[in-house]
């Protein structure tokens, strides 16, 4: 159990609202691996800060107003936490809004930065 990682995950999930991509990247290792949800149209593994910029920058460019609301952080073990977030945004270009929940399974390295982020979307109830 790592209370420090739980706090870092809260801070990282709030960072986008405070300073955008650069603020979030402060919590990620330079060699981070970002894994989108399995059902993502942008499948693959995005490596390093440039990879994260590429992956997360696409929706950020479409949604003029976007914010991340951390909902919960769950301690998994000494290295990993699950962060449940809600992404809310609006796009004039598409005339629509996004309001979606995601879970990030974040693995922290010895430097207390995220070295791996696996993203999941909730399965709708049947």
pLDDT digits (tens, 9 = 90+) for 7-45: 999 999 899 888 888 999 999 999 999 999 888 777 789
Is position 125 within any domain?
no
Is position 126 within any domain?
no
pTM of the predicted protein model: 0.86
CB-based burial label for 23 (10 Å; 0-12, 13-18, 19+): middle
User: What radius of gyration, in Å, describes the C-alpha atoms of the chain?
Assistant: 14
The residue range of the domain holding 42 is 3-120
Which comes out higher in pLDDT, residue 121 or 91? 121
Q: With both helix axes pointing from N to C terminus, report the angle between 48-62 and 3-25 in degrees, rounded to the nearest 10.
A: 70
The domain that holds 39 is classified in CATH as 3.10.450.50
pLDDT-derived band at 99 (thresholds 50, 70, 90) equals: confident
Q: What percent of the chain has pLDDT over 70?
A: 87
DSSP state of 61: H
User: In the chain, where do the E strands start and end?
Assistant: 28-35, 46-47, 65-75, 80-91, 96-108, 114-120
Q: Are 4 and 112 in contact (CB under 8 A)?
A: yes
How many Å apart are CA 35 and CA 105, to the nearest integer? Answer: 10
Q: How many domains does the chain have?
A: 1
């Amino acid at each position: 159990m790592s209370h420090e990682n739980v706090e870092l995950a809260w801070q990282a999930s709030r960072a986008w609202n405070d300073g955008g991509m650069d603020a979030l990247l402060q919590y990620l290792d330079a060699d981070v691996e970002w894994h989108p949800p399995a059902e993502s149209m942008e499948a693959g593994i995005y490596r390093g800060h440039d990879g994260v910029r590429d992956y997360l920058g696409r929706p950020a460019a479409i949604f003029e107003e976007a914010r991340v609301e951390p909902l919960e952080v769950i301690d998994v073990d000494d290295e990993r936490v699950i962060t449940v977030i809600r992404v809310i945004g609006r796009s004039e270009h598409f005339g629509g809004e996004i309001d979606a929940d995601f879970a990030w399974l974040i693995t922290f390295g010895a430097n207390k930065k995220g070295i791996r982020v696996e993203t999941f979307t909730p399965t709708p109830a049947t």
